[in-house]
């Protein structure tokens, strides 16, 4: 286990980094934020802050040397940054997991390959592929950019096939994935963590019905 007093490096200086920093402090850890922005809400509550570009290798190496382990607060940290740091310090999750999480299509294929059942989906690399995807997935459906979309950004809803042109323009004509609607009775969010030793822990669901 990481002993109290150790320094956890966090890539990214936003609100999730702030929450991580506060939680780490309560457990007796120090936190070092690395982010390109001068203003960082995470750095306001942490021990150290390095402001530097994602590709500044000398600063990244110095950051790694000051940390016992490194993680990240959001999935759009450049993969090359994580790969570089991995050669200097333990980074958890690793570059392989981050690379999958950055790409919606890779993520869905990964889950399906493990036997999971994501919503019906089809790749939409270009406008012509959207028509084929609609024939496969149908409508209503959601068109989502493969990369960089979050919190509703990079998404467009199609109520019918006639909405294809407007939806394609709405997401900036970027490579995308078309995702079908799913009828469900209940929604659950389950958080699991796995240690380096393979042990898995999870937070139980609230079994009380509303």
Kindly state whether residues 46 and 69 are assigned to the same domain: yes
Smallest CA-to-CA distance from 9 within 44, 43, 56 is with 43
What does the pLDDT read at residue 195? 84
What does the pLDDT read at residue 207? 63
Kindly state whether residues 15 and 97 are assigned to the same domain: yes
Find the largest Cα–Cα distance for the chain.
59
- Is 192 a member of any domain? no
Kindly state whether residues 93 and 47 are assigned to the same domain: yes
Packing angle, helices 79-86 and 57-65, rounded to 10:
50
Kindly state whether residues 63 and 112 are assigned to the same domain: no
What does the pLDDT read at residue 149? 73
Averaged pLDDT, 181-206: 84
Kindly state whether residues 51 and 97 are assigned to the same domain: yes
- Is 35 a member of any domain? yes
- Is 30 a member of any domain? yes
- Is 63 a member of any domain? yes
Kindly state whether residues 32 and 92 are assigned to the same domain: yes
Given a cut of 60, is residue 84 above it in pLDDT? yes
| pTM summary value | 0.83
Please report where in the chains the tokens 């290798």 appear, as a residue: 57
Kindly state whether residues 97 and 113 are assigned to the same domain: no
Mean pLDDT lowest among 1-5, 63-67, 134-138, 149-153: 149-153
Bridge partners of 44? Answer: none
Structural domains in the chain (count): 2
Given a cut of 90, is residue 5 above it in pLDDT? yes
At residue 191, φ and ψ (nearest 5 deg) are: -105, 125
pLDDT tens, 93-152?
A: 999 999 999 999 999 999 999 999 999 999 999 999 999 999 999 999 999 999 987 767
What does the pLDDT read at residue 186? 82
Would you say 88 and 34 are in contact if contact means Cβ atoms under 8 Å apart? no
Kindly state whether residues 85 and 128 are assigned to the same domain: no
Query: Which two three-digit tokens encode residue 132?
Result: 């084929």
Which of 67, 101, 135 finishes a domain? Answer: 101
What does the pLDDT read at residue 183? 84
- Is 198 a member of any domain? no
Query: 3-class DSSP state for residue 160?
Result: coil
Kindly state whether residues 31 and 70 are assigned to the same domain: yes
Given a cut of 60, is residue 210 above it in pLDDT? no
For residue 115, the Cα-to-chain-centroid distance in whole angstroms is 21
Mean pLDDT lowest among 81-85, 123-127, 136-140, 192-196: 192-196
Q: What is the distance between the alpha carbons of residues 123 and 29, in angstroms, rounded to a whole number?
A: 43
Query: Which two three-digit tokens encode residue 89?
Result: 């310090």
- Is 76 a member of any domain? yes
Kindly state whether residues 14 and 95 are assigned to the same domain: yes
Could you tell me the residue range of the domain that residue 117 belongs to? 107-180
At residue 11, φ and ψ (nearest 5 deg) are: -85, 120
Q: CATH number, domain at 137?
A: 3.30.1490.20
pLDDT tens, 6-59?
A: 999 999 999 999 999 999 999 999 999 999 998 899 999 998 999 999 999 999
Q: CATH number, domain at 97?
A: 3.40.50.20
What does the pLDDT read at residue 208? 59
């Amino acid at each position: 286990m990481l002993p109290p007093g150790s320094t956890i490096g966090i890539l990214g200086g936003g609100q999730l980094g702030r929450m991580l920093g506060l939680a780490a402090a309560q457990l007796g850890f120090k936190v070092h934020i690395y982010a390109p922005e001068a203003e960082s809400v995470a750095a306001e509550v942490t021990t150290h802050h390095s402001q530097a570009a994602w590709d500044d290798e000398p600063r990244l190496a110095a950051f790694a040397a000051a940390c016992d382990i490194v993680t990240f607060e959001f999935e759009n940290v450049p993969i090359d940054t994580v790969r570089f740091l991995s050669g200097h310090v333990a980074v958890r999750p690793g570059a392989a997991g981050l690379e999958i999480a950055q790409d919606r299509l890779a993520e869905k294929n990964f889950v399906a390959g493990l036997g999971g059942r994501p919503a019906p989906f089809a790749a939409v690399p270009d406008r012509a592929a959207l028509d084929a995807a609609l024939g496969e997935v149908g409508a209503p459906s959601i068109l989502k950019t493969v990369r960089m979309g979050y919190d509703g950004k990079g998404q467009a809803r199609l109520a019918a096939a006639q909405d294809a042109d407007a939806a394609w323009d709405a997401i900036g004509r970027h490579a995308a994935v078309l995702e079908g609607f799913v009828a469900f009775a209940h929604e659950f969010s389950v958080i699991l963590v796995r240690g380096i030793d393979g042990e898995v822990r999870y937070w139980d669901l609230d079994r009380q019905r509303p």
